Structure 1
């Protein structure tokens, strides 16, 4: 019988808080059960154990960031939209490092399709629409922006910019300016490497 007061939603939020405080690897069924003062077996009526808890944290993070992105991007285009996108992800990762880490874990195709992941893709598509990229160029641009944002944020969270000048925020602005310029001047090229 499910224990009173325990729900999948409460357990997910507790797992997300634990991830932010101690890292995603700290999220286990036993650790979350301890937060509620119950035996580990008590939570299995609501969630499917450690992998399911971590998956739920990923889905929560995807949903939270999609909502934040939609608000940040409203009415913006070009460099302003690109900055809002990057700044939203960066700020979220700083506030919620465990949820950010969970968001990077792969989901199976069905779960991904039902998640807020497609909203993220749509929002990034809206940002890129202002750069008038089509076909493969658009796909390359999506991968470029994703790589820049995730790479920078992951390095920053790991302390990779802590001991050098200028400040990370200065580099962040310069990098977004460079990405904006790249997207504005993007030209198609032959993927075989042959000049056209």
Structure 2
């Protein structure tokens, strides 16, 4: 990636560039020095927005969670029940495919207990609980189902990103079969 012209140091523009670095080169390359170089600024200027590399990682996690939420919310518009579960599942995996670095950022906040990170993640949980409402899962059972779905989607995405699916089978078909099995399971509860 060639250096970009200096941009107004708005946090969204900075995170967009950091996301591009992450997606192309990997999250390990999202450093203050690399980010400053891409922005055409000196690294100390970034301290106006982040408390060091840890602060940048936290903002990247929130940025990634918010972007993932937007994709899932968009996929859930106008659908319900099985169709909605399938739609958000495909959106999740497609987000990880299109934005592997940003997706990785959602998993590596320095302090996962941080309130801002928790709030960004909670939006995704709440959306998923809403999508699962048609199954009349009560109390903790709905949250267990959210955990199960996330585990399936993250596992699938992680294995795919690391080249774990070598067989000549259509990955989208595999995903659909797996999600339909999950849906069948929650229908039985």
Normalised to the residue count of structure 1, the TM-score between the two structures is: 0.85
Deviations 1:9-41 (A, max 9, x none): 222111111001111111110110111233222
Question: Secondary structure of 2:168's partner?
Answer: coil
For 2:172 and 2:11, how far apart are their aligned partners in 1?
Answer: 38
Structure 1 unmatched runs, 5+: 187-196
Q: How many residues align?
A: 182
Larger relative helix fraction: 2
Structure 1 position 77, deviation (Å): 1.6
The aligned residue for residue 64 of structure 2 is 61
Partners of 1:63 and 1:116 within 8 A in 2: yes
The aligned residue for residue 124 of structure 1 is 128
| Further displaced range: 136-145 or 25-34 | 136-145
One of 127, 134, 140 as aligned partner of 2:138: 134
For 2:8 and 2:140, how far apart are their aligned partners in 1?
Answer: 50
Partners of 1:57 and 1:99 within 8 A in 2: yes
Deviations 1:36-89 (A, max 9, x none): 233222221222222222221221121122222222112212210111111111
The aligned residue for residue 146 of structure 1 is 150
Normalised to the residue count of structure 2, the TM-score between the two structures is: 0.88
Structure 2 unmatched runs, 5+: 1-5
For 2:18 and 2:131, how far apart are their aligned partners in 1?
Answer: 32
Rg: which structure is higher?
Answer: 1
One of 179, 182, 187 as aligned partner of 1:179: 182
